[in-house]
């Protein structure tokens, strides 16, 4: 990898993350790399400044934080095809990150990157557009030119500071009405996101090597409402049915992206962009990650398999 321009994003409020960022920045600059560094979090978004300052030419991104910091990087950098190295510095679960214990020798990491001794893992992303069907809303609502991207999930659900609002939504797939849902909302997830909000809502776990879309209702007021998994090239449309509720929101990876009103719909499909992650581990096991991160315990009684070599 030829690294001329790099960015480093560390978790806001994390002193260890800031210390790591400063150390890595000094080491990379000693190798002749131009580095921009900044915090990332709920109230900090360094990526627009990074992208404009480097004229959209970024060779490498180092993310020091947990899955939240990594998701934010993917949403902004996927369009530029920037490879991301994520290290769990000050984060929590870290499904998408390398363990900090495995990355103490940062000089060795730079040597591996410069000598191409790493792998690139590409993860499917989703994009969402809010479509205004009621022409009467068109003069009052400004729609963004680019779709919203996500690596984990697109979620349509209310956000209210003073009450628990029930969402009434209609699900359509490739122009065919599938069902109507009354509950807390709908999650439309990638395989990567299936181990996040989706699994918490009793949805399926989908291997990240697949391309698929998982649709999961959140606390539906019907015992027959179930999650479904569909092929990746289908278009998912979600229509709000309530004419009075103004609290419905579109969420991307847990971040509010837009309000949704009656007379609009959300179209969700697989994005042409993919998140690119640098993989340094040679013995990584997805199933081991599931056991460790989700605390799977298996059967109460374990039996030896005498036929296994």
CA distances from 300 to 185, 205, 297, 303 (A): 35, 22, 8, 10
Out of 67, 102, 134, 283, pick the active-site residue.
67
67 classed as catalytic? yes
Q: What is the largest CA-CA distance in the chain?
A: 71
Q: In sequence order, what DSSP letters do the residues of 74-129 get, joined into one string? A: HHHHGGGT-EEEEEESS-SS-TTSEEGGGG--HHHHHHHHHTT-SEEEEEEEEEEE
Question: What do you get for the CA distance between the two ends of the chain, in Å?
Answer: 40
Query: Residue 127 and residue 159: Cα distance in Å, rounded?
Result: 21
The count of other CB atoms within 10 Å of the CB of residue 19 is 14
Element (H, E) at 172: strand 167-173
Q: Which stretches of 152-243 are DSSP H helices?
A: 197-200
Active site residues: 67
């Amino acid at each position: 990898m030829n690294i001329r321009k790099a960015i480093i994003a560390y978790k806001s409020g994390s002193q260890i993350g800031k210390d790591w960022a400063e150390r890595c920045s000094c080491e990379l600059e000693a190798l002749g790399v131009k580095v921009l560094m900044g915090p990332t979090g709920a109230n900090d978004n360094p990526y627009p400044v990074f992208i404009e300052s480097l004229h959209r030419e970024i060779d490498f991104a180092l993310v020091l934080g947990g899955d939240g910091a990594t998701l934010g990087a993917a949403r902004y950098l996927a369009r530029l095809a920037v490879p991301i190295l994520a290290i769990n510095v000050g984060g929590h679960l870290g499904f998408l990150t390398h363990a900090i214990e495995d990355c103490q020798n940062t000089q060795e990491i730079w040597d591996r990157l410069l000598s191409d001794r790493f792998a690139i893992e590409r993860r499917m992303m989703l994009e969402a557009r809010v479509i205004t069907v009621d022409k009467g809303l068109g003069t009052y609502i400004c729609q963004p030119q680019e779709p919203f991207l996500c690596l984990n999930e697109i979620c349509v659900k209310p956000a209210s500071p003073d009450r628990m609002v029930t969402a009434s939504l209609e699900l359509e797939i490739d122009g065919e009405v599938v069902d109507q849902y009354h509950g807390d909302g709908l999650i439309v997830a990638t395989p990567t996101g299936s181990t996040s909000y989706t699994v918490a809502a009793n949805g399926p776990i989908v291997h990240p090597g697949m391309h698929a879309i998982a649709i999961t209702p959140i606390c539906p007021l019907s015992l027959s409402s179930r999650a479904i998994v569909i092929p990746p090239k289908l278009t998912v449309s979600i229509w709000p049915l309530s004419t009075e509720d103004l609290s419905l929101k579109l969420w991307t990876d847990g971040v509010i992206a837009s309000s949704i009103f009656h007379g609009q719909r959300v179209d969700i499909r697989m994005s042409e962009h993919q998140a690119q992650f640098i993989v340094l581990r040679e013995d990584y096991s997805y199933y081991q990650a599931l056991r460790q991160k989700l605390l799977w315990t298996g059967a109460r009684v374990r039996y030896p398999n005498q036929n296994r070599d």
